[in-house]
Chain A
Amino acid sequence: MHYATEEQRRGTLKILEFVRILKDADVRVSPVEVIDVFGALGHVDFTSRAVFKQALSTTLIKDYTDIPIFERCFGEFFDRRPADEADASLAVFRGAQADGAEGEGLPSGDELREAGDAIDAYIDGLPDETLATLSARDIVNLILDDESLASSSGALGMMVMNARSRRGRSESDADEEGDDAALTFIIGRVRRRLRERNIGRSIRAREEYLLNKYIYQLKPAEVQEMRELVRRFGQKLKNRISLRKKRVKHGGLDVKRTLRSNLAHGGIPFRLYYRDKKIDRPQLVVLCDISSSVNQYSRFMLLLTYTLQGLFSKVRTFAFISNMVEITPLFMEMDPERALNSIFTDTSFTYGFGSNYGRCFNQFIDDYSDSLGRKTTVLVLGDARNNNQDPGMNSFIRIKESSRNIFWLNPDRRHLWDWSDSIAGLYAAHCTEMKEVNNFLDLSEFIDRLFK
C-alpha cells in the first residue's frame, strides 16, 4: 500500500493496531467497520481528542455494552502515550551527557524515534506464538544478539552496538553512561511495546479470570468489579437469547383475521395473516438459600435473574434460610442492587438456627403453590446443608410434580455432596438435574441452556 506521507503511514498502522487490541478484548469489529473508520477520519479534524475518540467509537463500537471496554482500551492506548515520549527518552541521554560523558554520538530526537520504531517493528515481526513465550528480557537479548540489526546503518544499529558493549561488562564498571542509556532505552521501549500489544488481551484475561473464579472465593474488591461484569455479561446473554427466540415465530393461517380484513375487498383474500406461534418463554420460580454459606453466590444468581427478567414470561423469587419469604415485589419497585441489600439485611428469613430446607419446602407448598404450573421451571439454589433436620421430602416431590422441571444449582463441589450435613443426594434423586455451579460462567451457560 502506498501512503502519501510518513505521518499517514504511522497513523494508519496505529488505528489498525487499535482495532486489533479491541478484537483481543473480545469486541467484534467487522472489516466494513474498519473501512468506515478511515472514511470517517477523512472528514474530521482529529487533533481534537473528543472528536477523534467519537469518530472511532461511532464507527467501531456498535454494542453499547462494549463502550466501557472501548473507553479502557482508548485510554490505555492513546492517552497513556505522552506526545513527547521521545523527548523523555532523550532526557535519559541528556542526563548521561550532563554526567560528563562525551557529547558526540548522542542520538537526536529523530534518531530515537527511528530506533524506537525499529524496535516496535522488530517485535511486531516476531510470530505471535514465539512472542507469547518470551519475556521482555528475552526480547531485549534477542535484539542485542541480532547480527542484522547490529550491522544495519540506522539509529538502532548504533544503539545495539553501544548496548552490547555495556552488557559485556559487569555492573560496577559503568563508566560510559551513554551506553547504559542505550540499554535502558531498548529495555524501556520493549516493555512499552509489549504492554501496548497486550492491552486487549489483558482485559479479556481479567474477565475470564473473574468469570471462572469460584464465587465464594472472590475478594471484596473483585466483587465490585464482578458486579459490573455480571451486568455487562447478563445484558449480552439476554441480547443473544432474545435474538434466538425471535427466529421461530410464524404459525399457520389466521383464518378469522384474514377473512375480517379482506371483507373490504369482497372477501377475496388479497392479504393473508398468520397466527403467531406462541413463543415458549419459561416461567421461572427461583428459591434461593441466602444463609451465609452460599450468600455471595445467591446474590449473583439473583442479579443475573433480574437482568434476564424480560426473557421469562414470569419470574417469582423466594428467599429462605429457615423461613420462606417472597421477594418478587422488592425487585419490582427497586433497583436490583438496592433490593439485594435490603434482602440481606432483613432478618425475617430466619426461624431458629441455620438453613432448614425441609421447613421451607413445606412452607412453600402451603403458601405459594399457586406459583407452580405446567410451564414453570423451578430453580433451587443452595448447598442442601440441612443441619440434620427433616428434609421435607414430600413437599419437595410435590413441588417437582406440579412444575415442568426442577433444577438445583449447588455451589458445593460434587465430591462434597452428601458430606457432613449435606443431603444433596437425597434431593438430587428428585430433580431434573442437580448441577455443580460455582462460577459465573457455569451460571450463564446454565441459563443459556434453559432456552434451547
Chain B
Amino acid sequence: MKRYVLSRLAQAVGVLFAAFTVTFAVLYLLPSDPVALQLGAAGIETDKLTDTQLEAAKAQYGLDRPVAEQYLSTLGGFVSGDLGTSIAKQQPVAGLIGDRLGPTISLSLAAGALSLLVGTGLAYLASYVRWRPARLVLSRLPSLGASFPQFFIGLVAIQLFAFQLGWLPATGSRGPESLLLPAVTISVLTSSLLAQVLMRSFDETLSQPYVVTARAKGLSRAAVQWRHGFRNAILPAMTILGLLVGLTVTSAIVVETVFARNGVGKLAQESVLSQDVPVVLAIVTLAAAIFVLVNLVVDLLYPLLDPRIVQLPRKVAVR
C-alpha cells in the first residue's frame, strides 16, 4: 500500500512538471518572435525602438537571458510559490490570481455539486424507470446536453431567467443568486457526461449475477438498485471525476466571460487577449495542478473503495 501511494505521488509530480514544461515550450518556443510578443503585452512596439532601447526593455523583463535560463528561473519561482510578474498589468501574478480565486472556487464547487446531483439522479432514474417513452427520453437527455455550446446555454439562460422572467441577476459575482445561472450553465455539460458514464455502468452492473441473486432471494427492485446496483455502478464513474473537475475549471473561462463574473476564468480570457504570457503560463499550470491533484485523490481513494485494485499491480510484478 505504501509503495502504491508513493508511486502515485511521484507520478503526479512528474506529470505536473511535464505539463509545466510543455506549456512553457508552447509559450516561449512557438512564437516567431517571443520578445516582441511579450513586450507587445506591455504596450511596447519593438520595431519603433532603437537597439539600445530594445536591449533595455528586454533586460527590464528578463527577456535578454537565454530561454533555458528563463525556464529554470521560472520553474524555480513556481516551486517556491513565485508565479512571476504580469507584463500587461505590472503586478505579481500570484496576487492577480489570488484576488480572483474566490468567485471561481465558489462557482466550481456549486457547479460540481449540481452536476453530481443531476448526473447521478438522471442515470439512476433512467435505469430504474420501466416505462419505455420515459426511459428513452431520459437516456437521450445527456447526449442532448453535451451538444450545446456553453456560451449559447449561458446566453439563453440570461435571456430567459434574467431578462424575460427577471428572477435572477444577469451578470456580476455578488451574492448566491448570481451564482445560480453560471453554475447551471456549467453543469449542463458536466452532468451530461457523468450521466452517460453512469448509465453505461448501471447497465453493466444490473446484469451481473449478484443482482439476479438479490432479486431471487426476494429483494424489491428498488432495494436491489439502491443496495447492490448503485454502490457498484458508482465506482467506474470515479475515474472521470478528474476529467469533470478539469471541465468545470475550463468551463469557467467561457461562462465567466458570458456572465461577466470577475474570476480566474475571466482573467485567463483577458490575459490571452493582451497576450500576457506569464499570467497564461501560471493559469494553465494551476489548472493542470488541480486536474493532477483530483486524479491523485481518486487514485488513492479507489483502493479503499475497491480493494481489488491494489492486488493487480502486485500480480503483474510477480509474473
State yes or no: do A and B come from one complex: no
A interface residues, Cβ below 8 angstroms from B: none
